[in-house]
Structure 1
Amino acid sequence: MIRFFGLPLIALVACACTYSQPTALVPDVPEPPAPLENRFDGYAVPEQDESLAVFEDPALEGLRSPALSRFRTEAEFADWLKATRAASEARGIGQMYPVPLPAAPPSSDMAMSVGEPQAMEAAPSEVMVTGSAEPESDSNPEITNNQKAGVDEGGIIKQIGQHLVILQDGRLFVTDLMPGGQAGLKLADRANVYRSSDEDTWYDEVLVSGRTILVTGYSYREEATEYTVLNLGEDGKVTRQATFYISSNDYYSGSNYATRMIDGKLVIHTPIYLVGRGWWDDLEIPVIREWRQEEEDGFRERTELEDGRPLFSATDIWMPVQQTLMPVIHTVTVCDISGVTDTSIPACKATAIVGTETHEFLVTKDAFWLWMSPSGQERARELREDHPHPECSSGPRPELSNIVPSALVRLPVDGSKPGVLGVRGEPQNQFSMDMDAGTFRAVLDWRHRDCGIWVTREETDLTFFDVPLDELGDVLLDTAGGRYFDLPTPGASAYEARFTEKHLVYGAREGWGSWPPSDGETRENGRAIIVPVDAPASPVTVELSHDVIRAERAGPYMALTGYHDDAGLSMSLIDLRADPRLSGTMTLQGRYESETRSHAFNSRIGADGAGLIGLPTVPRSEEAERWWWWSSSSDMSYIAAAADGSLSEAGMIDATRRDPDLPSETGYACEVSCIDWYGNARPIFTGNRLLALINSELVEGALQDGTVTEINRIDLTAPLSEER
């Protein structure tokens, strides 16, 4: 985008006379700017060499911009897409959809904006309430086990003042924690987020900011992510403010959360696939639109923004810095939801960059981090005698030269210019990445370029990576930026990793699942690897009496859960306060972990290292081997940590188990979103109280003589005096 500033030049014409004549003012009108050059007009990709992978074939170099650069015109984007499509088809990699792009939004002062979100502030220091939390505020105490301080993750339960807001079945259940000014539990309201039981919509995540509630859902009828903005009154009653949509394919992720809230602003990543794998990828460039008028049957009439307002145009998209024939437009949208009503849509800003389909992302308070790697098809090449196939399941550790090049991209949430860096290796999920104190860090899978992405080694090879933020720049160099340190293998193929400010801790298990051992089965003992982030060449290995299916931060500790045999779930604490050490291990006899998402774990650990840990468990039954989408009830188990890091069992709150095939005792019926994809059990620590969400029950417990005992329980499905 080019802008011309300044006033017309003024020429003063003087007459050579003995008296003064009026001066003629003649504007020097500038010539109109020349049309921007279309770099892909008539561009033809040279013949490709299929003995080379996509990422290294020089024939494809012209389809990327090594320096950060936006597409100049709509026509240039269309011609780039046409050329990339032809190259993809020639190589036999999928079918690309010719995605039309809208024109730039009118009256926009910034290339990628619909409204003007403000820049984010620096992240405050962390405290020891949950895995990573900020100091609690009066309006929204932190009760979620978030990965990063200052970045609230979409979940199923949040707090506003003295009320808990719970999302289940497409409904909000509001519980008053101080009814009549006294500590207790009272169902204050139950409100449907959906408008009609005929809707094909799944509602998964809730976020709060002040007294504003944001509920995220996906509507298959609208082919869009739905955001409903509601308000919670001081009396605990919910009122709807607005509903708006951002077109996308289903945002749902089995490992990451779709939405974040940063300083009252919604942050979401929307990938737009340009290569078709099936009908679900036939997408258009995202628009934001609202629904205003509702009819009795729940169907809604569009507003005057019938087609929505585009979040960006072609000239807002950053070109790919990597060679890719399976391009994806990675879009990060930031929306200010404050003051949104049913007559407006939020002020949103979107940053879009073309990258690879294979990616992982991390959200910190001021940036969205994308680690992008070539897909499996983009790694393929015809191996010849001078390139024998490597031994993928075992053998020597791959050399740096045999690792596929990737790109680390920083997309600031304030919409400013991205930064890029050429890197090697791949993080397995968002928990394999961290940014703290001006340094980005990651633990990376270290896989030979000719080994498929689904091929696992008997003992995984891992690498520690770090880089100062100032090394990210405008140009993607064909080098491995940052530092790389070989890490000890955790002894198995599937691993769990977590960062703190000072350490990386990881452990492993055989296979990707988290199921307990079958009757009589015994598993190999595991190990925990503790890596000081300031001295990654000096890791410490601690032997465990169980494998590792979960790793979570708990105050000054890293909590690791896993199994040795069918006796029950084991937990170990790694004390990170001084020299890392195994401080305690215990086994919950006859109990098995039932929810593996990070939010299902929570803790309250004091400054002295003593406190409680809560996590959902089930008895030995079919429930112990259930899949992660089941909605059966879990119990809530508590484990006490002493000041020295030793562990002891601290009781359990039992769930009320009902036969799901029998009618509800309260007459309650679910109509929409009746599968709890994100689970339905959460340990909650707020103020000096401890509570447990257990399916459709909210239970309060108290720690008495070292044991948690139940003191109050309410059924969220019980009738309200005024049904809403």
Structure 2
Amino acid sequence: MSSALKITVILSLLLSAGCHAAGTAPRKTLAPFASEQALSSYLQQVQARQEALLLKQQKLQRATAQYMAAPPPAPPAAPMVAKAAPAASAEAAESVTNVQTAGVDEGGIVKLHGKHLVMLRRGKLFTVQVGGNALQPVASLDAFAPGSDPSGNWYDEMLIDGDTVVVIGYSYSRGGTEIGLFDIAADGKLAYRSTYHLRSNDYYSSRNYASRLIGSKLVFYSPLSLNLRRGDPFGGFPALRRWRPDAVPSDFKRIAPATRIYRTDDEPEPGTSLALHTVTVCDLAQRDMRCEATAVMGPQGRVFYVSGESVYVWTTRRGSDSGLFRIPLDGSAPSALKVAGAPVDQFSFLESADGHLNVLLRSEGQGDAMWDGTRGRGDMALLRVPLASFSDGRDSAPAGSYQPLPGGGGYGLQNRYVGAYLLYGNPGNPGRRKADQAWPRQPLYAVRWADGGSVQALSLPHGVERIEALGDDAVVIGAQGKDLYFSSIRLGAQAAVATRYIRADAVQGESRSHGFFYKPQAANEGVIGLPILGADERPGLNKSSASVLYLRNSGLQLMELGALAARPGQPPDDGCRASCVDWYGNARPLFLQGRVFALLGYELVEGALKEGQVREVRRISYAPVAR
């Protein structure tokens, strides 16, 4: 842990109540490389230093081996970077995605287009008509280019801009992020348009999403590890190509020239890989997609967060020294700060309207790639800095910008900003629950992020597995023994537990943020939806949740409305050819124009509120037939 997080601090005047930044523009920005030659020379210097260090290490190993009369150690195994593979109307404006930031849509598995729901599942797109009180499958189409080989590809996320459906996936066979564009008509019919490949490493995170949509701007974050020992280091730099059946590597065209690549004064850590943390912005307003990229150099560990105007990338190296980059979406130069510690995930960030960035930190962490977001640890702090304090990367966030917080950042930590509060807590024992198992009480910590006041520890009889907003208040969901608890939290001048609902013999069926949805209906009124399983069942990547549970929130009183359940039995044989594991889940609660749905694998179940209960009205299967 760094001294910046260990030290006991008194909040600086920057943190006092009523302090507002005069502006959010950084004092200085990072300087790009002046030319391709300047960039090449720098990479050669870095490579020379790394090779000198490697040679020194090899000599030391040989000397040690001779002294010990033992054979030299075997070379380290190559790091695993892939996912573990298995053997314009009011209707159109309605969102079905539980997003972190209003106006910033996130790639998901279900979206709404006019009178149709669009689903992405197991390598295919599907549309179902729901407008006009209908519930009818309409069309399906492969989520990959006709004639292409989809093996080794994962199609994970979907976004819709106007009449364009965007499918985002990762291709191990073609080496990068795959972007498929499809046309969708008013009648729900789908047509393939084009496919693009964006050079990148695997973007997968068990918590974050790779893509965002802001207006017609398609935004990607993608990491790129630099192999400086290859003949052409620029062969791994950000590039884009349009796919064609006879596509070759030379079709890739650089989209981040040297003059859009930046670094701070920090030198790469000896013996570790250097990464290009790349933000790509693509214009969907034109049928032929155009993209530009901005990249910053840093260590491999990363967490990124997208606000309405910028992408923030927090990079971590061994130990706790870190770098924080602010990359504007308008293509202007990034800025940076030297910082300490590591965020948990994207929910650790809040760019607040008072011109500050707020970040919950643990003293140790390696970012949120793959499952790393669950594994950080150590003491905790809240970093709060004015946006105007970002500069050319030479400055450090002052010690007074860190507020020490209680609670260890253990396995599976959950955190969320709701209104004026930052809430965080641990899930408790992550292992298999037992009927007679009593877990230690898990406090929910609540801190008003803007004023640096005291931290409240609210006693809960259950773990903290999910934190979600209920308007200006919150709900905390977690397990105790074999039961699933929902605790409503009132967030006024003080935070307080309001009421509690207990669903016996149940667990969450989805851990991703998109698995939950809250539909406000009036002030302090609304409906909660969450996929659940029986307590003896285990959530699985290819397993449909048994049901979606619905609760009514009335002034923070939580009352069960019932559940819409999946049909028992074996799922249909869909002849899956690609993306045959549900990495992003397959169950969602959906609320559309006063109607209630549950997406459960290949089933779409509609319910209706009758006599204070959700009761099934009808269901359809949109599953394809294996050929």
Shorter-chain TM-score: what band? 0.7 to 0.9
SS at match of 2:38: helix
- The question of whether the paired residues in 2 share the 8 Å contact of 1:421 and 1:481 is answered with no
The 3 A distance-change label for structure 1 pair 245 and 572 is same
Task: Look up the match of 1:636.
Answer: 548
State the Cα distance separating 1:652 from its structure 2 match.
0.8
Tell me the equivalent position of 2:339.
423
Q: From the superposition, tell whether residues 302 and 495 of structure 1 become closer, same or farther in structure 2 (CA, over 3 Å).
A: closer
Question: Who is 2:143 aligned against?
Answer: 193
Of structures 1 and 2, the one with the larger relative CO (CA 8 A, separation 6+) is 2
C-alpha spacing 1:211/1:482, structure 2 compared with 1 (3 Å) = farther
Corresponding residue of 2:513: 598
In structure 2, relative to structure 1, the CA distance for the partners of 1:596 and 1:456 (3 Å cut) is closer
Amino acid at match of 2:584: Y
Shift of residue 540, structure 1, vs aligned partner: 2.1
Please name the residue that 1:184 is paired with: 134
Alignment-derived partner of residue 233 in structure 1:
185
Aligned match of 2:405: 487
Provide the residue aligned with 2:488 in structure 1: 573
8 A Cα contact 2:219 2:279, kept in partner: yes
Distance in 1 (CA, whole Å) between partners of 2:210 and 2:376 is 32
SS of 1:562's partner is strand
Structure 2 distance, partners of 1:525, 1:196, is 56
Q: 1:331 matched to which residue of 2?
A: 278
Q: 2:174, 2:33 → 1: CA distance?
A: 29
SS, match of residue 444 in structure 2: strand
1:369 Cα deviation after fit: 0.4
Shift in alpha-carbon separation, 1:283–1:458, aligned structure 2, 3 A: closer
Query: Quick one: which amino acid aligns to residue 301 of structure 1?
Result: D
What pairs with 1:664-679 in structure 2 (closer than 5 Å)? Answer: 664=572, 668-679=574-585
- Which residues in structure 2 correspond to 1:112-261 (within 5 Å)? 138-178=91-131, 182-194=132-144, 195-196=146-147, 198-200=149-151, 201-261=153-213
SS at match of 2:286: coil
Structure 1 residue 356, shift from structure 2 partner: 1.8
Secondary structure of the 1:302 match is: coil
Query: Secondary structure of the equivalent of 1:139?
Result: helix
Distance 1:254 1:462, change over 3 A: same
Give SS of 2:423's match: strand
Post-superposition shift, 1:537? 2.3
In structure 2, the residue corresponding to 1:431 is in which secondary structure?
A: helix
Aligned residue among 413, 426, 434 for 2:350: 434
Q: Which amino acid aligns with 1:587?
A: I
Counterparts in 2 of 1:220 and 1:269: CA distance versus 1, 3 Å: same
Gaps of 5+ in 2: 1-27, 58-87
CA contact (8 A) 1:634 1:695 kept: no
Other-structure match for 2:316: 373
Q: Which amino acid aligns with 1:502?
A: A
Alignment gaps of 5+ in structure 1: 1-65, 96-134, 293-299, 380-403
Q: Which residue of 2 aligns with 1:467?
A: 385
Indicate if the aligned counterparts of 1:88 and 1:94 stay in contact, CA closer than 8 A: no
CA contact (8 A) 1:405 1:480 kept: no
Q: Classify the secondary structure of the residue corresponding to 1:599.
A: helix
Out of 399, 421, 433, which is 1:517 matched to? 433
Contact 2:310 2:326 in 1 (8 A): yes
Partner of 1:315: 259
Write the distance in 2 (CA, Å) between the matches of 1:591 and 1:277: 52
- Residues 365-415 of structure 1 show CA distances to partners (whole Å, capped at 9, x for unaligned) of 1100011222x3xx3xxxxxxxxxxxxxxxxxxxxxxxx332221100110
Amino acid of the structure 1 residue aligned with 2:441: N
Aligned to 1:359: 302
CA contact (8 A) 2:379 2:409 kept: no
Q: Please tell me whether the aligned partners of residues 140 and 210 of structure 1 are also in contact (alpha carbons under 8 angstroms).
A: no
Distance 2:215 2:324 in 1: 25
Query: Structure 1 residue 276: deviation in Å?
Result: 8.3
What amino acid does structure 2 have at the position aligned with 1:711?
V
Measured at CA, do residues 457 and 327 of structure 1 come closer, stay the same or move farther in structure 2, by a change above 3 Å?
closer
SS at match of 1:323: coil
Kindly indicate whether residue 391 of structure 2 is the aligned counterpart of residue 476 of structure 1. Answer: no
- The answer for the alignment partner of 2:557 in structure 1 is 646
Q: Is the 8 A contact 2:362 2:409 kept in 1?
A: no
Q: Distance in 2 between matches of 1:93 and 1:694?
A: 56
**How far 1:204 moved relative to its partner?**
0.8
Contact 2:335 2:390 (8 Å CA) reproduced: yes
Contact residue 441 and residue 462 of structure 2 kept, 8 A: yes
Whether contact under 8 Å (2:373, 2:412) holds in the other structure is no
Return the alpha-carbon distance in structure 2 between the equivalents of residues 456 and 254 of structure 1. 9
Say whether residues 1:589 and 2:504 are aligned partners: yes
1:658 counterpart residue number: 569
Q: Deviations over 1:276-308 (max 9, x none)?
A: 899xx997113211124xxxxxxx1339x9522
- Tell me, what secondary structure is at the counterpart of 2:246? strand
Distance 1:94 1:593 in 2: 51
Residue type at the aligned position of 2:488: L
Distance 1:197 1:420 in 2: 41
Matched with 2:603 is 697
**Structure 1: distance between partners of 2:489 and 2:115:** 35
Q: By how many angstroms is 1:459 displaced?
A: 8.7
Aligned equivalents of 1:659 and 1:183: distance in 2?
29
Cα distance in 1, alignment partners of residues 330 and 235 from structure 2 = 26
1:260–1:458 Cα change, 3 Å: closer
1:460–1:490 CA contact under 8 A, matched in 2: yes
Distance 1:434 1:426 in 2: 15
Any residues of structure 2 matched to 1:537-556 within 5 Å, and which? 537-556=453-472
SS at match of 1:446: strand
Q: Distance in 1 between matches of 2:155 and 2:251?
A: 23
Given that 1:516 and 1:592 are in contact with CA atoms closer than 8 Å, whether structure 2 keeps it comes out as no
The CA distance in 2 between the partners of 1:523 and 1:541, in whole Å, is 17
Q: 1: CA distance between counterparts of 2:376 and 2:262?
A: 40
Q: Per-residue deviation at 1:521?
A: 1.6
Number of residue pairs matched by the alignment: 558
- Residue by residue over 1:94-141, the C-alpha shift from the partner in whole angstroms, topping out at 9 and shown as x without a partner, is 99xxxxxxxxxxxxxxxxxxxxxxxxxxxxxxxxxxxxxxx9955342
What is the aligned-residue RMSD (CA, Å)? 3.1
1:528 to 444, 461, 480: 444
CA contact 1:165–1:174 (8 Å) conserved in 2: yes
Asked whether 1:445 is paired with 2:384, we answer no
> Is the contact between residue 424 and residue 480 of structure 1 (CA under 8 Å) also seen in structure 2?
no
Q: Normalized against structure 1, the TM-score is what?
A: 0.72
Shift, 1:606, TM fit: 3.2
1:129-170 C-alpha deviation (Å, 9 max, x unpaired): xxxxxx995534211000111110000000011111000121
Kindly indicate which of the two structures has a greater share of residues assigned to strand.
2
Query: What is aligned with 2:85?
Result: none
The Cα of 1:355 is off from its aligned counterpart by: 1.4
Separation of aligned partners in 2, 1:332 and 1:469: 19
TM-score, structure 2 as length reference: 0.83
2:48 maps to 86
Q: 2:37 aligns with which of 72, 75, 78?
A: 75
Distance 1:561 1:478 in 2: 37
Give the Å deviation of 1:248: 1.6
Tell whether the 8 Å contact from 1:506 to 1:529 is kept in structure 2 after alignment: yes
Change (3 A) 1:139 1:611: closer
Percentage of pairs with the same residue: 33
Which digits, 9 at most, give the CA deviation of each residue in 1:454-489, with x for residues without a partner? 999999521111111111123422553661112122
Inter-CA distance 681–85: structure 2 relative to 1 (3 Å threshold): same
Q: Are the counterparts in 2 of residues 458 and 493 from structure 1 also a CA contact under 8 Å?
A: yes
Residue 713 (structure 1) aligns with: 619
